Amino acid sequence: MPLTRLEHYLVLSDDIEKTRDFYCNVLGMTEGFRPELEFPGYWLYVGDTPCIHIGEWASYSVWTKKVGIPISSRALATGPVDHIAFNGTGFAEMRAHLTKHGLTFSENSLDEIGMRQLFTRDPNGVPIEINFRN
């Protein structure tokens, strides 16, 4: 009974539109089908996979209490989850794109495995790592 793939991760936000715009306009994801749920939000896709589910924090809190699902508490960082990583293409283009959007970022190079990395944060402070393999 092995796992077959990562389905998605949930980002809770007070500004779901700003969060959606970051992932779509900066990282190139697309907004896609999301079933009717009892709280506002978006599903963002990479290809056919819904990678990120954005939920509006206050209404999601009410819903989780109603259905008995635990919810994360607000924190300055992401707690034990440190960052979310994606593969990308076009290191220089993405670097220029992040600059164009006024985002701060850092870079790293792992020459041993032929990989360059960019690190930034989404509007909610979630650390994002983008890996570019040569």
**What does the mean pLDDT of the chain come to?**
92
Q: What is the pLDDT of residue 117?
A: 95
Q: What values do phi and psi take at 120, rounded to 5?
A: -145, -170
Q: What is the pLDDT of residue 76?
A: 76
Q: Is the pLDDT of residue 2 over 90?
A: no
Q: Is the pLDDT of residue 92 over 90?
A: yes
Query: What is the dihedral sign for C-alpha 130, 127, 17, 97?
Result: negative
pLDDT tens digits for 25-36? Answer: 999 999 999 989
Kindly state the average pLDDT of the residues 54-71: 92
Relative to beta strand 30-32, strand 84-88 is: unpaired
The pair of three-digit structure tokens given for residue 105, joined into one six-digit string = 């970022």
As a whole-number percent, the residues of the chain with pLDDT over 70 amount to: 98
Torsion of Cα atoms, 27 then 62 then 37 then 40, to 10°: -40
pLDDT tens digits for 8-24? Answer: 899 999 999 999 999 99
Pick the CATH number of 9-133 from 3.65.10.10, 3.30.70.120, 3.20.20.70, 3.10.180.10: 3.10.180.10
